[in-house]
Amino acid sequence: MNLQTYAAESEFPFPGLEALSPTALSEQAVLAADLRAALAREQALIRKIVDLESRRELQIRELNHRLFNGLQSIASLLSAQSRQATPEAAAQLSIAISRIVAFGQVNRRLHLLDHQDRVEFSEYLAHLCADLSALLLWQQPGCAIAIEAIPLELPTATAIPLSFIINELITNSVKYAAGKITIRLEALSPNNYSLSVSDQGPGLPAGFDLAGKKGLGMRIVQSLVQQIAGELLISAGQDSRGVCFAVHFTLPVGRGVA
C-alpha cells in the first residue's frame, strides 16, 4: 500500500497528501525507510547493551563465587596444616584462617545487595561492620567500631555505593587511627541524610586538600559519592579528636525511614 492509497483509506488521512508530487512521495518513502533502519539499529544496540550487561553480571557472580571457594580451600588447607604444627605455629595459622574467612565474609556482604531492590540499611550496616571488625581489628584490642544508626530503607542503587564507601573509610581509619571508630547514620531533614565515619586518630595533616588528594582509596570514595549525587564533607572528629568523613545524600520523596 502506497502513501496515497493509505491516505484515501485511512480514518485520519494525511491532509493534502494527494497534492504531493511523485518526487516528494519518493523522498518521504526514502525518509521513512531511513527512520525504520535507524530504529532497527537502535533496537539492535539496546539488545547488545542488555546482553553485555547480563554477561558482565554473570562474570562478576562467577568471579565472586570462585573467590569465595578459593578462600574456603585456602582456609581448609591451613586448618589441616595447623593440626600437624607446633602450638605456636598452630596459633598463627588459626589467626590467618580467621582473617581469610573474615575477608570472604566482607566480600560476600559487599555484593549481597546486587540482586535486591531495597535494603534496611542500618541492619545491613551492623552486619558489614561486624565482618570488618573481624577482618581488621583482630590485632587491635583497644580499637572498636560503634554504630549509631536510624532505621532507614534504601534503594540498592544508593546502598551499594554507601557500603563500599564505609568499607574504604573504616579501612582508612584502622590504618591511621586508634581507639573507637564511630559510624553514624542520621536524618538531617526530610529525605536528606548523613552517613559518617569518625575516629580518634591524629587527625588530618595541616594544609590537607581533598581536591588534591591522589590516594586510590580517597579517589574511590569521591567517585562513589558522585555516583549517588552526594557531598563529601571532612571535619575534626568528636571533641576535636581525629577526623570525621561525612557523606550527605538525598532520597526521592516518599523514601526514607523504615
CATH code for the domain in which residue 185 is found: 3.30.565.10
68 and 176, same domain (yes or no): no
pLDDT at 184: 94
pLDDT at 11: 44
130 and 246, same domain (yes or no): yes
Does residue 3 fall inside a structural domain? Answer: no
pLDDT at 4: 43
pLDDT at 43: 82
29 and 157, same domain (yes or no): no
- The DSSP-derived string for 81-147 is HHTTS-HHHHHHHHHHHHHHHHHHHHHHHHTGGGG-SEEEHHHHHHHHHHHHHHHHSTT-TT-EEEE
Does residue 220 fall inside a structural domain? Answer: yes
Lookup: cell for 81: 596444616
pLDDT at 14: 47
- Work out how many domains the chain is built from and give that number: 2
250 and 153, same domain (yes or no): yes
HSE-CB for 55 with a 13 A CA cutoff: 6
* Segment 207-236, tens digit of pLDDT: 666 655 556 778 888 999 999 999 999 887
94 and 163, same domain (yes or no): no
HSE-CB for 93 with a 13 A CA cutoff: 17
131 and 208, same domain (yes or no): yes
pLDDT in tens, the chain (258 residues): 444 444 444 444 444 545 556 676 677 777 888 888 888 888 888 877 777 766 766 665 665 556 566 666 666 677 777 777 887 777 777 666 666 666 666 667 767 777 778 889 999 999 888 888 887 776 676 788 899 999 999 998 899 899 889 988 988 888 776 678 999 999 999 889 999 999 887 766 666 666 555 567 788 889 999 999 999 998 876 666 788 899 999 997 655 555
Does residue 10 fall inside a structural domain? Answer: no
Residue where a domain terminates, one of 110, 136, 170? 110
140 and 219, same domain (yes or no): yes
56 and 143, same domain (yes or no): no
141 and 226, same domain (yes or no): yes
State the residue range of the domain holding 97.
17-110
- Contact predicate 1/17, CB 8 Å: no
126 and 95, same domain (yes or no): no
pLDDT at 3: 43
Q: Residue 186: beta bridge partners? A: 194
164 and 79, same domain (yes or no): no
pLDDT at 206: 64
Query: Residue 170 and residue 162: Cα distance in Å, rounded?
Result: 12
Strand locations in 49-160 (E): 118-120, 144-149, 153-155
Residue where a domain terminates, one of 73, 88, 110? 110
